[in-house]
């Protein structure tokens, strides 16, 4: 005999199943984030070797990050619009295949212009990936766990910084920087198989269902999130891109990998805290992140070569920065609502525009004023970012949510 009433045990099991996260798929997305982030920042640890091999100065080689960001900033919005109807898995596979080609081209480049072409192509792939990944993670999870799903996917960022960049730096010094880029290409090819096996497909958007971006930016809170993204990422990139010459001036040029390891390990702690608390304390976490990165930059500015202070600053920097991508993308998605994909595309464009600006501004500051100007510029830029977060109590970075 059957009944229409489920037992309490059955109901609890159904509820638990409904709330379960698809970890295999989310970890594949985290690996895609890892590849995207590692490709972006790997020149920071390999800058001296790359500049020597390609016979250009450190400031010129630092523009490899700028060119990457320009590729993303110029193509993210048009490519997102052009591929909005594609299935999400097809788009993700295309992005990873492009990363494999771009990193291989950078690795085999015999001169500076060819390396820059590879970096630009990698930036194009990043534009596709970044505008897709946060929304993909949200769609794979139950509504109550979407913030945690994004945090899992974004965990690829601190892993790249804590493990990938130091490993790439070590590999570059051991067997050459070209092998570091080739290893990322191999990983991208392996990830393509993982995506086919573990990541569920989702359809793209119908043409009539897309909110134009000029309307999406007017939604309450969206402009605030985009403003914080612009200033925060600009500040971070100015210092991070040129961390190797900055540490070299302090006599710690041989410790770049270890400093980045401390930074990345602290970022892992940050992302774990963010994943656990983001659903209720996004505003508090964003304020704390801004203060921590500002304090770290000020500490670097006054460290005067003190090894202990440099490592303390790296730890504070990682604790602040680690959760920022998750916080900003979650805030943008929340503010955008049904137009979240459009908001993500704008956020990605601004993010990478800020990266391009950070590399360019950092290069000018490095050449004109020296390395000490870099951390003080970070402090100055974070002041308006903090002001925006504090002012947007109702929308953008709202008070505690249930």
Over the stretch 210-265, which tens digit does the pLDDT of each residue have?
666 677 788 888 999 999 999 999 999 888 878 888 888 888 777 777 888 888 88
Under the banding of pLDDT at 50, 70 and 90, the label for residue 322 is: confident
Question: What pLDDT is recorded for position 108?
Answer: 93
| Between 356 and 321, the higher pLDDT residue | 321
- Scan for tokens 């590999």, then name that residue: 171
Q: List b or e across 329-364, with b for residues whose CB sees 16 or more CB atoms inside 10 angstroms.
A: bbbbbbbbeebbbbbbbbbbbbbbbbbbbbbbbbbe
CB atoms within 10 A of CB 322: 30
| Between 363 and 295, the higher pLDDT residue | 295
| Between 20 and 375, the higher pLDDT residue | 375
Question: What pLDDT is recorded for position 102?
Answer: 96
Structure tokens at 87: 């299935």
Residues 204 and 85: beta-carbon distance below 8 Å: yes
Mean pLDDT of 140-166: 77
**299-311 pLDDT per residue, tens:** 988 887 788 898 9
Q: Report which of 292, 315, 313 is spatially closest to residue 304, judged by C-alpha positions.
A: 313
3-state secondary structure at position 57: coil
Q: Which of 49-58, 112-121, 246-255 has the highest average model confidence (pLDDT)?
A: 112-121
pTM of the model: 0.73
Q: Which of 174-183, 203-212, 289-298 has the highest average model confidence (pLDDT)?
A: 289-298
Q: Where are the alpha helices (DSSP H) in 55-111?
A: 58-82, 88-108
Question: What pLDDT is recorded for position 224?
Answer: 92
């Amino acid at each position: 005999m059957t009944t229409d009433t489920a037992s309490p045990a059955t109901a609890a099991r159904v509820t638990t199943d409904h709330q379960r996260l698809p970890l295999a798929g989310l970890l594949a997305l985290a690996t895609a984030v890892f590849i995207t982030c590692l490709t972006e920042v790997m020149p920071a640890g390999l800058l001296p070797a790359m500049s020597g091999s390609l016979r250009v100065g450190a400031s010129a080689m630092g523009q490899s990050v700028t060119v990457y960001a320009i590729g993303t900033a110029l193509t993210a919005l048009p490519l997102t619009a052009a591929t909005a109807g594609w299935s999400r898995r097809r788009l993700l596979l295309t992005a990873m295949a492009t990363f494999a080609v771009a990193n291989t081209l950078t690795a085999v480049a015999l001169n500076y212009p060819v390396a820059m072409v590879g970096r630009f192509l990698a930036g194009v792939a990043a534009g596709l990936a970044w505008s897709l990944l946060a929304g993909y993670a949200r769609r794979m999870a139950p509504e109550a766990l979407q913030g945690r799903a994004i945090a899992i996917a974004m965990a690829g960022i601190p892993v790249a910084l804590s493990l990938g960049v130091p490993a790439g730096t070590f590999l570059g010094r051991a067997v050459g920087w070209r092998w570091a880029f080739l290893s990322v290409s191999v990983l991208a090819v392996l990830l393509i198989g993982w995506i086919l096996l573990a990541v569920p497909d989702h359809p793209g958007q119908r043409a009539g269902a897309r909110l134009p971006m000029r309307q999406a930016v007017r939604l309450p809170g969206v402009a605030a999130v985009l403003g914080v993204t612009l200033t925060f990422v600009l500040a971070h990139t100015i210092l991070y891109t040129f961390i190797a010459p900055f540490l070299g001036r302090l006599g710690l040029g041989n410790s770049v990998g270890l400093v980045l390891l401390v930074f990345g390990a602290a970022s892992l702690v940050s992302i774990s805290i963010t994943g656990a608390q983001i659903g209720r304390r996004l505003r508090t976490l964003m304020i704390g992140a801004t203060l921590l990165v500002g304090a770290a930059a000020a500490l670097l500015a006054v460290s005067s070569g003190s090894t202990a202070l440099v490592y303390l600053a790296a730890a504070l920097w990682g604790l602040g920065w680690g959760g920022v991508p998750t916080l900003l993308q979650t805030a943008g998605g929340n503010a955008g609502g049904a137009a979240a994909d459009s908001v993500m595309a704008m956020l990605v464009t601004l993010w990478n525009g800020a990266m391009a600006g950070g590399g360019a501004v950092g290069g000018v500051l490095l050449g004109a004023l020296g390395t000490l100007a870099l951390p003080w510029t970070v402090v100055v830029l974070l002041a308006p970012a903090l002001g925006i977060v504090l002012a947007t109590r109702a929308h953008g970075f709202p008070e505690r949510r249930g």
